[in-house]
A and B are shown apart, each in its own frame.
Chain A
Amino acid sequence: MRQDTLEQLSCFMDGELSDRDHRTLVEACVNDDGLREKWARYHLIGTTLRAGLPETLQRGLPARVAHALDDEPAILVGRRPRVRVGPALGLAMAASVAGFTFYKLGDWFPKAREPRLVSQDASPTADRGRRPLTEDIPYAAVLWGGERHDTPERLTTYLLMHNQYDGSLSGPEVSPSEASPYFTTVVHDSDP
């Protein structure tokens, strides 16, 4: 057995052998009984120094395992190929994901159809299309009914709970200019 091969073996068991050399050595190791015995004894030295040996030294284990492995099929784990993505394709994929995410988020937050607080100081002309809550509950229910399945009863409860914001339902009669910006009205926007 060549000394440099043994030195490589010693180096390999410490994980210090270069990638270039280890393949040749492992190849030699698995096929050369002398090298395998060295490998076993070098490790026996290491185990003894680090952890100590078991109470009884039983030496037949590797032979028994090797014999049992004769009946086992060889393992063949397929290598998973790495997909290399070019910059242009990567950008396109990222844009697709971002677009899809934006589209789905739009579904989750249908802002145009949500009830919203509208300042009372909006001019009557600007309020075209908006109606006071007290009059429009059925109308709002019809507007939302197809998509949100909100019942008029639920809407009524909701709106009554918030009627302190509605000048038409409660509170002293104050002009919009006096109340603004604290005086607000809850309405449904009939615009889509």
Chain B
Amino acid sequence: MGDTGADSQLVERVQRGDKKAFDLLVLKYQHRILKLISRYVRDPSDAMDVAQDAFLKAYRSLPNFRGDSAFYTWIYRIAVNTAKNHLVAQSRRPLETEPTGMDGEAIEPAALLKDYATPENYLITEEIQEAIATAIDQLPEDLRTAITLREIEGLSYEEIAEVMTCPIGTVRSRIFRAREAIDHRLKPYLE
């Protein structure tokens, strides 16, 4: 079934009036959508606005979503179109007066971004990636294989069971325990 099965169940729930189910979709796709939009919109603050706009457009268009394509494919297109529209609107916008500091000196463009693209943020991103990599390295062999086959290779539980010659229930348990171990290392960075 793949993880699109979970998406379609959440989409159906939103289509029956449950807004909170949409929140789960946002939580799931936020980083991928932000990363995608950041390819078009350099300013992190603008990228955040565009991502929010894209999710809102997706929500408003959900009555027309019939599930012919995967939810991510669908929202991917919405995000790209929203980012492109943002760029077009920005190019039409008249040049603003160059912002100045309190003493009248022009502020460097890079300084304008400091609230968003702080070195601390970069550090957190790198630290998160490093923490996850370290956690995977320290997993027992069977858990590491199970989580790698699932998350990186995208195999189904049945396929993993075949590869690892074990019951599906064991695969399910190993993947869960691997996630828990990684999450245990990750949690402090996100608090």
A69 near B56 with CB under 8 A, answer: yes
- Whether B179 sits at the interface, judged by CB under 8 Å, is yes
Q: Do A56 and B3 form a contact, CB below 8 Å, given A62-B26, A75-B62?
A: no
> Which stretch in B80-88, B90-98, B101-109, B124-132 binds the other chain?
B124-132
A51 near B172 with CB under 8 A, answer: no
- Chain B 56-76 against A: per-residue CB contact (8 Å), 1 yes, 0 no? 100110110000000000000
Name the one of A26, A31, A50, A64 contacting B9, with C-beta atoms under 8 angstroms: A26
Looking at the assembled complex, report how far the CB atom of B145 sits from the nearest CB atom of chain A, in whole angstroms: 14
Q: Do A29 and B52 form a contact, CB below 8 Å, given A44-B186, A49-B132?
A: no
Residues of B within 8 A of A7 (CB): 172-173, 176
Residues of B within 8 A of A60 (CB): 48
Residues of A within 8 A of B77 (CB): none
A65 near B55 with CB under 8 A, answer: yes
B121 near A56 with CB under 8 A, answer: yes
Interface set, chain B 105-152, CB cutoff 8 A to A: 116-118, 121-122, 124-125, 128-129, 132, 136, 150-152
Residues of A within 8 A of B51 (CB): 61
Q: Do A68 and B28 form a contact, CB below 8 Å, given A6-B180, A55-B122, A57-B124?
A: no
Q: Do A50 and B3 form a contact, CB below 8 Å, given A57-B125, A72-B60?
A: no
A10 near B186 with CB under 8 A, answer: no
The count of chain B contact residues (Cβ–Cβ below 8 Å) is: 67
Residue of A whose beta carbon sits closest to that of B126: A53
A56 near B31 with CB under 8 A, answer: no
Looking at the assembled complex, report how far the CB atom of B76 sits from the nearest CB atom of chain A, in whole angstroms: 12
B23 near A66 with CB under 8 A, answer: yes
- Chain A 38-70 against B: per-residue CB contact (8 Å), 1 yes, 0 no? 111111111111111111111111101110110
The count of chain A contact residues (Cβ–Cβ below 8 Å) is: 51
Looking at the assembled complex, report how far the CB atom of A54 sits from the nearest CB atom of chain B, in whole angstroms: 4
- Whether B27 sits at the interface, judged by CB under 8 Å, is yes
Residues of B within 8 A of A50 (CB): 151-152
- Chain A 10-32 against B: per-residue CB contact (8 Å), 1 yes, 0 no? 11111111000010001001110
Residues of A within 8 A of B31 (CB): 43-44, 47, 53-54, 57
Residue of B whose beta carbon sits closest to that of A41: B183
- Whether A83 sits at the interface, judged by CB under 8 Å, is no
Looking at the assembled complex, report how far the CB atom of B124 sits from the nearest CB atom of chain A, in whole angstroms: 5
B10 near A14 with CB under 8 A, answer: no
- Whether A77 sits at the interface, judged by CB under 8 Å, is yes
Residues of A within 8 A of B156 (CB): 14, 16
- Whether A36 sits at the interface, judged by CB under 8 Å, is yes
Q: Do A55 and B125 form a contact, CB below 8 Å, given A47-B32, A74-B19?
A: yes
Interface set, chain A 68-101, CB cutoff 8 A to B: 68-69, 72, 74-77
A30 near B128 with CB under 8 A, answer: no
Interface set, chain B 29-44, CB cutoff 8 A to A: 30-32, 34-35, 38, 44
Report 16 cross-chain contacts, Cβ distance below 8 Å, ordered by A residue.
A11-B175, A15-B2, A15-B3, A15-B5, A26-B21, A36-B24, A42-B183, A44-B31, A48-B132, A55-B44, A58-B48, A61-B30, A61-B51, A75-B15, A76-B15, A77-B62
Closest 10 CB pairs of A and B: A15-B5, A30-B20, A54-B35, A74-B17, A10-B176, A77-B15, A15-B1, A40-B27, A7-B176, A56-B121
